[in-house]
Amino acid sequence: MSLNLIMNIATSGMNTAQSQLRVVSDNVTNINTPGYVRKIADQQSLTTQGMGTGVQIARVRLATDRFLQASTLNTSADAARETVRYELFDRIQSLFGDPGGDSSFFTGIDDVFAAFAASAELPGSAAARQTAIWKTQNLFDQAADISRQIQAVREDADGRLQSSVDSINGLLDQISKLNREITRATVTGADATGAQNAQAQLIDQLSSFMDIRLSPQNNGATEIRTGAGLLLVGNEPAKLEYQRAGAISAQTSFGDIIVREPSGSSRSLTEGLVSGELKGLIQLRDIDAPQAAEQLAELTSKLADELNRAHNASSSVPAPAVMQGRNTGQTLETALSGFTGRTTLAVLNDSGVVQSRAEIVFNGANITINGVAATPATFLTVLNAQVPGVTASFANGALKLEAAGGNGLAIADDATAPSNKNGKGFSHYFGLNDLVSSTAPISYETGMTTASAHGFAAGQQLTFRFANGEGVKIRDIEFTVPAGGTMADLISALNDPVAGVGRHGTFSLSASGEMIFTGRGTPPAQMSVLNDRTAQNPSGVSMSQVFGLGGMRGARTATMSVRQDIMGDPTKLALSQLNLGVPAGSPAISGADGTGARLLAQAGNASTRFGPAGGVSGSISTLTRYASDMAGSIGAKANLRENAASSAEALYSTASARRDSFEGVNLEEELVLMTTFQQAFNASARLIQAASEMYDTLIGMVR
């Protein structure tokens, strides 16, 4: 071995030791830098013709482990999803208040029934009436406010989605730029660890937004895809775009996030999105919050319906001169078809004495009024003829009765064979004496059959959106009302696999006239209404309002309130009942009678059918039991979300700790390495010194 070779070996050793010491110095300097990954300098021996000629640094790399990194990225996405989902759902739970507290929404329901019970004891007390009215209105105001706040939570989630899109685009752009820098350094043999460290921190931030998959490239760059395979970063970054819903109502559906890949192709980001903050926000916005709103709407609509049932079976004193029904969303002929039983319309003077009456007997399509035959088509004509001084009319889907000459009107069903259609009496079905009014239909048990006329003009359109069980959009379908005018024609057209929605589910009409959608697939497809441009004749309401399609069921809560004339005049509260068994000339209603108030007080204990809502199947229950179950359900979901968030955060902390223990800087290890490389440097220096002395000796011998 020549002295030159010895000198070269020693020099390479000194240079390599110096490089190693610089790496150690960088690691020690950044020991407290968050997200810093320690560097490792890989050195290799140099050989020439099978003979060692020194050492060199092959590359400087980061001490990363792809499996620990993948585990951390996955758990980071899970923790972000569950945390944001719990954070927002906890806001929803807090809207209802503490179920055991005095001011919670559920306590307010009991207060309403207690107020009517007090009115039953003191039916003539104006203060008791006013208290009952105020508590009822306050409850519906509170429910409407909760409904609006739930919608506000959805809008907050949607707003965070839009801002997250901007943040993600910024991260993708920076990661792509660092990819180019890393590639240049790798190709030229320069140190790329600085750029790699910065990129790793950006990737960690990106993983909190969505689940991602990393693919290291031979040139040192990192390719990033979503869990579903959408390319986010390759040679160039993808661009995310939040597509606003346009004319779509935010009550039922929001916009979508589109990924425009570097190749130019576009797909929905939500397809295959499994985790991350985006997923949590979408689940809260499109699943959790709507379910809470639907369950609240089902409770409040049934509460309103049961109060209206009791109020329609009662009368104020004096009796009202005008009974204005609600919009049934049907023609009079369709609404009257299917009634059975008997009811009596009485005309009373201001003393409550019956002046005349109309005994109405229903038997399907056959009707008699005071023994005179009528049909649904001739009902108004016969009724007006049989009860002088009373004018019955029907407009905009609503029945209206008016008494002349200062008289009033009251209705009572037969005790043994009460009028009935879908479990509602004549007055209740038409809403002639409702306590709670609504600006839109709140009950979707229409009583229609397949032979009933649906009332929508051919050519009218509405747009459906179908999504999978996770809320991911499948398809939008624009449906056109067919030429056929019956419900059978409408349902057949809806279920058409080409022109209708048959590929994604089936519409059917229940025995009570409720239109039900059953989605296909496992889990079944979800349906919402994006845009409804239909209007029924004569009611003027849309198809989604009549049948409660899409998100309309959850939007009912904000439409209900105590009737305005009752709010302004407590004497119009119906606390008495029409008694047709009194002797002629005696008052049939009395201000001292509190039987109507007792019916209102007992409405909470009446069994009624609750439809499927909020992920809970339909059931027969009482209002008070359903409210209790709902309080438990909301609390259980919040607790579930909290536990899921805690568990996900714990898994993330564990994965991060394992990754940090491998990738992070250990001061003791670095000090050992520093000592080792210092000794290696000194050894190389001594070798140079020895070679130098040998040179001097040889030169001296030559002289």
Output the pLDDT for position 674: 86
> In the predicted model, is pLDDT for residue 162 greater than 80?
yes
Q: 3-class DSSP state for residue 621? A: strand
Q: pLDDT tens digit string along 287-323?
A: 899 999 999 999 999 999 999 999 999 999 999 999 9
Identify whether the C-beta of residue 339 lies closer than 8 Å to the C-beta of residue 362.
yes
Mean pLDDT across the chain, nearest whole number? 89
Output the pLDDT for position 249: 46
Q: Which residues, at least 6 apart from 50, have a Cβ–Cβ distance to it below 8 Å?
A: none
Q: pLDDT tens digit string along 479-523?
A: 999 998 999 999 999 999 998 999 999 999 999 999 999 998 888
For 602-619, give the DSSP string. Answer: TGGGSEEEEPPBTTB--E
Residue 436, both tokens: 């709670």
Tracing tokens 């709670």 back to the chain, one arrives at 436
Q: Name the percent of the chain lying above pLDDT 70.
A: 98
**How does strand 231-233 pair with strand 366-369?**
unpaired
> In the predicted model, is pLDDT for residue 247 greater than 60?
no
**How many Cβ atoms from other residues are within 10 Å of residue 371's Cβ?**
8
Minimum mean pLDDT range among 161-175, 417-431, 462-476, 477-491? 462-476
Q: What is the Cα–Cα distance from 556 to 564, expressed in whole angstroms? A: 18
Sheet order of strands, 366-369 included: 372-374, 366-369, 354-363, 340-348, 408-413
Longest dimension (CA), the chain: 155
Cis peptide before 237 (omega within 30 of 0): no
Q: What is the Cα–Cα distance from 62 to 196, expressed in whole angstroms? A: 8
Would you place residue 152 in the very low, low, confident or very high pLDDT band (cuts 50, 70, 90)? very high
Q: pLDDT tens digit string along 552-568?
A: 888 899 999 999 999 99
Q: What is the Cα–Cα distance from 501 to 188, expressed in whole angstroms? A: 59
CA 545 from centre of chain: 19
For the stretch 505-511, contacts whose Cβ atoms lie closer than 8 Å and that sit 24 or more positions apart, written own/partner, are 505/466, 509/448, 509/449, 509/450, 510/445
List 652's β-bridge partners, or say none.
none
Model's pTM, two decimal places? 0.87
Tracing tokens 């020194």 back to the chain, one arrives at 54
Residue 61, both tokens: 């790399």
> In the predicted model, is pLDDT for residue 530 greater than 90?
no
Kindly tell me the sign of the dihedral angle through the C-alpha atoms of 186, 192, 198, 201: positive
Q: pLDDT tens digit string along 42-54?
A: 788 888 777 777 8
> In the predicted model, is pLDDT for residue 248 greater than 60?
no
- Tell me which amino acid residue 8 is: N
Would you place residue 8 in the very low, low, confident or very high pLDDT band (cuts 50, 70, 90)? confident
Would you place residue 251 in the very low, low, confident or very high pLDDT band (cuts 50, 70, 90)? low
Length of the chain in terms of residues written? 703
List 213's β-bridge partners, or say none.
225
What are the C-alpha distances in Å from 360 to residues 338, 347, 417, 598?
A: 14, 14, 12, 26
